[in-house]
Structure 1
Amino acid sequence: MPQLIVDVIADWNSEDIQNLGKLLDIKEEVTPEGIANKLKWFYHSKTIASIEQNVLSVWDKLKKKTDSENDVEALREIPSYDELIIGACKQMDTYEENSTIKESELHLSLAVIIEALNKMKPKERVDFFVKQIDLQKITNESNIKGESYTGVLTTVAALGLAQASGFGIFLASTTALGFLTHAVGITLPFAVYSGLGSTIAFVIGPAGWLAAGAFFSWKLTKAEWKKIIPALIYIISVNSRKSN
């Protein structure tokens, strides 16, 4: 059964909720329900819904109906988390039929990393491949429990863990989050990237190499993936951290 957004983030703490609200540019009080509604209108074009409302209102007037009003909010349903993940995978050209949602979460995270690597200059790409991260430090700083991961590995070698563990999904999604937040100019608390050290530091550093590259494009009447995908990657990162 498809998961609802409010259920996926139901057990989050206030800090994680606020960070997600920042990614979605929510100005008012941030609540799970508000997050779900914001994602609804990033996914469905409010422009089209408003046009439909106007057409229906004119039709009602022509039929001399005065006791009904078409509310734009009622013209679209909140998409499920599964629907958003599948849509994002299709947008990033990484959708694979019959994949589980967990597999699709990993596919999406890795697709973002690959897209960022494609936009790097050769030297920056080399830096990404050769930089090392301490897995023990990541597990300690992120309060990840369960299987112990030790040793210093290159980023790519560490990401190989994503094939077999929830910890790997955490590592992949958090790395992808660093790329995305840097690309769209959003600053989250550095603690969000716990333990990734110099690798994430250069990703979200002041150089700004990625900010000029357009990760996504959409028309006014299409889903705003530039807002949706960073939010989904953050959800993946938080939930994979909590599941370990």
Structure 2
Amino acid sequence: MAYRYDPDLEFLEKIDSVDLNDLVSCLTHDKDGSARLTEELTGTELFKKHHPDHHQYWELIAAEIQCFGANTFVTLFRGGKGVEYREILIDVCDKMKVNYNKDSSVEVIENNLLLKVLKDALDKMPADELRKLAESVGMKNIHLFTPESMLGVFQAVFRAGGFKSYQLTLVIVNAILKAMIGRGLSFAGNAALTRSVAVLTGPIGWAITGAWTAVDIASAAYRVTIPAVIQIAALRQKHLYGRQADDISFS
């Protein structure tokens, strides 16, 4: 296993070890907590020496993601370098039937993936739940609570970036992961960030269950790459929001 330089994963170098816990757990353990037979990370000398200080071997974490992605593409040389993250993300989006522009940045494509999940959830939510969801993430003066209008609002939130985009990402990712792997993000415990999780968990869980069943049958590698991509999207938003907050504090 060797890391292929990947501009879309380089930000992991800036992520604290504690925030990498969920991603490492996803790569090394199944949903039931048993060790993955195909993972290589825990057998490396750096992992054995520094675990759980994940920051010390972030490149190996990235390499493991790339190699699981290579499995998805039926790459013959499992022990070598995998594929770049963009290719993995696009493969996941194709599997989940996400509408995206392949020339967009990975951040935009990740947001399209999350919006697809959110759209499926919104379509199942009655008007009173849509209203609660809007209020829980601080949206006011919304007079027409329909899935279409709400999705438009959330698209605008993602485009604007900042705290609201970060909050919405964590809420969606937390609910998705609970539905997929039985546990949410450990760094999403801040009540100000996740107070709308209770509103979203049910609908997103229903939307994911059907899609997850089909994906699960298709390939075991997707059991890793889909939740890994979802978690990387959350880590990226956390990183971007942190940089924005630092820029404001020093301006």
| Aligned match for 1:8, one of 8, 11, 22 | 11
Corresponding position of 1:163: 159
Residue type at the aligned position of 2:238: R
Q: Give yes or no for the alignment of 1:23 onto 2:23.
A: no
Q: Check 1:95–1:223 CA distance in 2 against 1; reply closer, same or farther (3 A cut).
A: farther
Corresponding position of 1:217: 214
**Separation in 2 of the partners of 1:224 and 1:25?**
12
Give 1:153 shift: 7.6
Residue type at the aligned position of 1:90: D
Q: Give yes or no for the alignment of 1:110 onto 2:112.
A: no
Cα pair 1:170 1:240 within 8 Å, conserved? yes
**Separation in 1 of the partners of 2:214 and 2:63?**
22
Q: Check 1:220–1:166 CA distance in 2 against 1; reply closer, same or farther (3 A cut).
A: same
Residue type at the aligned position of 1:73: G
Identity of aligned residues (%): 19
TM-score normalised over the length of structure 1 = 0.64
**Separation in 1 of the partners of 2:117 and 2:208?**
14
Corresponding position of 2:70: 44
Corresponding position of 2:234: 237
**Separation in 1 of the partners of 2:27 and 2:100?**
24
Q: Check 1:8–1:221 CA distance in 2 against 1; reply closer, same or farther (3 A cut).
A: farther
**Separation in 1 of the partners of 2:177 and 2:216?**
21
Corresponding position of 2:93: 89
Residue type at the aligned position of 1:45: N
- Counterparts of residues 66-145 of structure 1 (less than 5 Å): 72-74=78-80, 77-92=81-96, 93-118=98-123, 120=124, 122-123=125-126, 126-131=128-133, 132-135=135-138
Residue type at the aligned position of 1:231: A
**Deviation string, structure 1 residues 177-197 (Cα, Å, up to 9, x no partner):** 123112113323554153234
Aligned-partner SS, 1:73: coil
Which protein has the larger Cα radius of gyration, Structure 1 or Structure 2?
1
**Separation in 2 of the partners of 1:179 and 1:173?**
10
Cα pair 1:184 1:211 within 8 Å, conserved? yes
Give 1:11 shift: 0.8
Residue type at the aligned position of 1:127: E
**Separation in 1 of the partners of 2:8 and 2:155?**
29
**Separation in 1 of the partners of 2:220 and 2:100?**
17
**Separation in 2 of the partners of 1:237 and 1:219?**
22
**Deviation string, structure 1 residues 17-51 (Cα, Å, up to 9, x no partner):** 112112334454454234223323432238955xx
Gaps of 5+ in 2: 30-34, 36-41, 43-50, 242-251
TM-score normalised over the length of structure 2 = 0.62
Across the aligned residues of Structure 1 and Structure 2, the Cα RMSD in angstroms comes to 3.7
Cα pair 2:90 2:102 within 8 Å, conserved? no
Give 1:215 shift: 2.9
Cα pair 1:116 1:179 within 8 Å, conserved? no
Aligned-partner SS, 2:82: coil
Residue type at the aligned position of 2:92: A
Give 1:159 shift: 5.8
